[in-house]
Amino acid sequence: MQIYANGQFLSAEMPCIHPSDRGFRYGDGVFETVRLKGGKPYQWLFHLERLEAGLKALRITLNTDLLKPTCIELIRRNHAGDGLLRIAVSRGPGGRGYLPGRESEPTLVIETLTAPPRPAAPLTLWLSAYEKISPNALPVQVKLAQGLNSTLARLEAEAKGCDDALLLNAAGEICEMSGANIMWLARGKLFTPALACGVLNGSTRSALIRLSPWPVHEGAYTLDDLKDAEAVIACNVALGAVPIAVLAPQGFTWNSVALAQQLQDVLRIDMTHDTQSAA
């Protein structure tokens, strides 16, 4: 297995990041995780645009002209078929303190990874004691290399015996899980928190909004809305749409398997079209 790091294809086992890299020092960077089907990236343009939006928000300058051919070459070298592609950009090495040095050159790391298995059973969620980071503090719509809020919520959920966490914002509005957006069906409509609530502009969220068989409502919702849902799913790039069975400690329960299967089916068809039509 190889990875691509700053102009070179290297063994994936080799340490290639300098300890002064601002990615390691401060999580000062962004990343994308892209689904591969038959060695081709799904929703490439979405990921490229979100990466570029993240770089702009962080004021990191990176020429992305050669990004796609470099990814394709890594996929070829690793014989990566239906896994994941991970693209990380940090502000690069140099300096101490929060003000970046002018001489910093960004670090670009590209990896291919196996996709995690789909969960054997519908997910159980724990309502996190951690509040989601406010969009007034960080540009949370892009995938920031600031994963500690998600990590702490995930560890807390695990300690409570649950599969994942559900996080609310400071206003008590539903945001998202530790690494997935949330959607639910109620009264013939599909609901999901609006980006303004402070949620990631997820690639699978975006695809499902485009592909949904039901009208989609994006808004600010509370646990009362979720309580009344008929079925609830989590969606992310690694798993697609997966059913949610329980929110603890509230004791909300749903039968979500059919909804998740239906949405997974529309994703699978879209992925086939998208990757077959890709250049």
Q: Which of 51, 74, 80, 84 binds a second copy (CB under 8 A)?
A: 84
Whole-angstrom distance, CA of residue 89 vs CA of residue 61: 10
Whole-angstrom distance, CA of residue 178 vs CA of residue 243: 15
**DSSP type of residue 135:** T
Report if residue 220 touches a second copy, rule: CB under 8 A. no
Q: Which of 132, 173, 184, 202 binds a second copy (CB under 8 A)?
A: 132
Q: Which of 151, 222, 255, 272 binds a second copy (CB under 8 A)?
A: 151
**DSSP type of residue 225:** H
Reference 118, options 272, 243, 232; nearest CA is 243
Strands 123-127 and 164-168: parallel
* Shortest reach from residue 39's CB to a second copy, in Å: 19
Burial class (CB in 10 A: 0-12, 13-18, 19+), 270: middle
- Region for residue 25 given its phi and psi (left: phi exceeds 0; alpha: psi -120 to 50; beta: otherwise): alpha
Q: Which is nearer to a second copy, 107 or 275 (CB)?
A: 107
Hey, which residues between 52 and 71 contact a second copy (CB under 8 A)?
57-59
* Shortest reach from residue 122's CB to a second copy, in Å: 18
Q: Which is nearer to a second copy, 19 or 161 (CB)?
A: 19
* Shortest reach from residue 113's CB to a second copy, in Å: 5
Hey, which residues between 169 and 188 contact a second copy (CB under 8 A)?
170, 178-179
Question: Tokens 């980071």 belong to which residue?
Answer: 133
**Cα torsion for 259, 263, 266, 271, to the nearest 10°?**
-150
Q: Which of 44, 46, 130, 252 binds a second copy (CB under 8 A)?
A: 130
Q: Residues in the site for a second copy, rule: CB under 8 A?
A: 3, 5, 12, 14-28, 31, 33, 57-59, 84, 86, 88, 90-91, 96-100, 109, 111, 113, 116, 130-134, 136-139, 144-155, 158, 170, 178-179, 238
